[in-house]
A and B are shown apart, each in its own frame.
Chain A
């Protein structure tokens, strides 16, 4: 049946046209064979990237100062996760889109107390380490202000020490913080920290949230990623480790992070998300958007597609 579409007038029924032989099944089988062959050949020739995951043990061995600085930062409440806000805690307000704050609407659904969950609870398991046990006890007996002062002072001192080396930190009143941070490093070096973060509340460690938050609070992960051009400002959203195509279909999403105002905005993530959702809805609704829905008529590419048909007409 012919139908009228906005901006196009009447479109004839496709069933009213002369027909030609067209073997859909044969076409599909040939396409399947070609795609399978191309996939297999590409797999044989190019393989696929598989840079191993960084263990917290590797982190401790390759960047011990970063582990200590991160542990001190968790205690001081200065790391990304410690001040994140929803869905992990209420320490931050999160990103906003004008007056709208979607981040805080669902509340805290995956509670993470960075100091307690990422540092103190794991260190508490070192029951045979008298220094660690005593350090945690002193920490817990102190007031919140005192804890904050100790941890902040130690974090600042670490940042001023040559190479951030804990052994070269200037003398100061850091309370039990250096001992707790050293115990965290010891746990990471031993390889037990991962298990304490992922399997502490469940035998089956399938939730990596806490381990990844801790790793991302440090600088080592980002340093490695940026070396492979995976940073957000390096088109990293669509890049992949090694010389592989990655996710080129995310080029538009990645593009916004390279240009102002998004590139310099504190609310870039929600702004880009809002823009992409808007564009996506627009893309889905093209048939109903005046101007856009008739644009192909003016572009003329359709003449190439139907040139043989038009020629015969």
Chain B
């Protein structure tokens, strides 16, 4: 089937003067476009120093999150107690559990990696902060998951956890022994919050780029033996920049 012809009506691709640049829509478009330098949303090139296995763990963490969400969605099909009596349900619950373990393992390695690399340098403080917030949000989400298992673990964890939450005044509104409330927090509210934080984190990563090595100087100002080939904001990421021969790392 051939594609439908593109609309002939004016679009945002038209010259700026005809676009109605004072509309809310145009303002929103400009804001979204300005979030990340042109060509950096999904570039097919990275700075040459991005050549270590440590960089894989951020992506692995994101991939784990996808498995968590998908297995969690399958679990929601059968309801809260389905998995106790159905072998498929128990298997999906197991996948959910182990993907959570992998999620935290990769996230912790990612966080420590970023700490040792001082990845907050170069105005990347918020990138670090949103990553740390995503970690703490994930702790809360995993905790509510344990509460809604509707088994012995849930009984024990909820009756014990209530004391800390009550002591902090939180338990008055966040009742860990109220199964209905915890289910909704686990499958709706907390995933949305964590998902939102992760999106902001990813946008910040793409906006600032990957932090350069500690002690690295601006290539344009340094060595003559290896001239810099900048991919400045505005330059397409696919610009013909000579590849730097780096043999190790996840993808080269």
Contact between A103 and B230 (Cβ–Cβ < 8 Å)? Answer: no
For A170, what are the chain B residues with a Cβ–Cβ distance below 8 Å?
none
Map CB proximity to B onto A271-289 as digits: 1 under 8 Å, 0 otherwise.
0111000001001111110
- Asked if residues B168 and A270 are in contact (CB atoms below 8 Å), the reply is yes
B24 in contact (CB, < 8 A) = no
Minimum distance in angstroms from A263 CB to a CB of chain B: 15
Whether A305 pairs with B116 at a CB distance below 8 angstroms is yes
Q: Is the CB of B219 within 8 A of A53?
A: no
Q: Are A24 and B44 in contact (CB under 8 A)?
A: yes
Does A3 lie within 8 Å of B59, measured CB to CB? no
A38-B98, A48-B97, A270-B167 in contact; A18/B226 too (CB < 8 A)? yes
Interface centre among A20, A25, A270 (most CB of B within 10 A): A20
Total residue contacts A-B, CB cutoff 8 A: 348
Residue of chain B at shortest CB distance from A284: B132
When the two chains form the complex, which single residue of B50, B93, B123, B155 contacts A54, counting CB atoms closer than 8 Å?
A: B155
Q: How far is the CA of A274 from the CA of B122 in the complex (A)?
A: 32
In the bound complex, residues from chain A placing their C-beta under 8 Å from that of B172 are 86-87, 106-107, 109-110
Name A296's contact: one of B44, B214, B223, B226 (CB within 8 Å): B214
From A123-131, A154-162, A237-245, give the one contacting chain B. A237-245
Chain A nearest CB: distance from B101 CB in Å? 6
Assess the B167–A273 pair: CB atoms within 8 A: yes
Contacting residues, chain A, for B149 (C-beta < 8 A) = 50
Which residue in chain A gives the minimum CB-CB distance to B93? A48
Chain A neighbourhood of B200, CB < 8 A: none
Q: Are B37 and A87 in contact (CB under 8 A)?
A: no
Chain A residue numbers with a CB within 8 Å of B121 are: 3, 5, 8, 11
B84 on the interface (CB 8 Å rule)?
Answer: yes
Min CB–CB distance A209 → chain B (angstroms): 4
A63 lies within 8 A of chain B by Cβ: no
Residues of chain B in range 201-252 having any CB-CB distance to chain A below 8 Å: 208-214, 216-220, 223, 226, 228-233, 235, 237, 241-244, 246-252
Task: For B71, list chain A residues within 8 Å (CB).
Answer: 39
Contact residues of A with B, CB < 8 Å?
A: 2-3, 5, 8, 10-28, 31-32, 34-36, 38-40, 42-44, 46-54, 84, 86-87, 94-95, 102-103, 105-107, 109-110, 204, 206-209, 212-213, 215-216, 221, 224-225, 230, 232, 236-237, 240-241, 244-245, 247-250, 267, 269-270, 272-274, 280, 283-288, 293-294, 296-297, 299, 301-302, 305-306, 308-310, 312-313
Known: A17-B228, A312-B226. 9 other contacts (CB 8 A): A39-B98, A40-B95, A50-B90, A53-B151, A53-B152, A212-B159, A272-B164, A284-B133, A312-B244
Q: Which 7 A-B pairs have the closest CB atoms?
A: A14-B209, A206-B180, A11-B122, A43-B94, A287-B120, A106-B172, A287-B125
20 A–B contact pairs at CB < 8 A? A11-B212, A17-B47, A17-B216, A19-B231, A20-B51, A22-B43, A36-B67, A43-B91, A48-B90, A50-B83, A53-B151, A103-B166, A206-B183, A208-B179, A212-B159, A213-B159, A221-B159, A273-B168, A302-B213, A306-B49
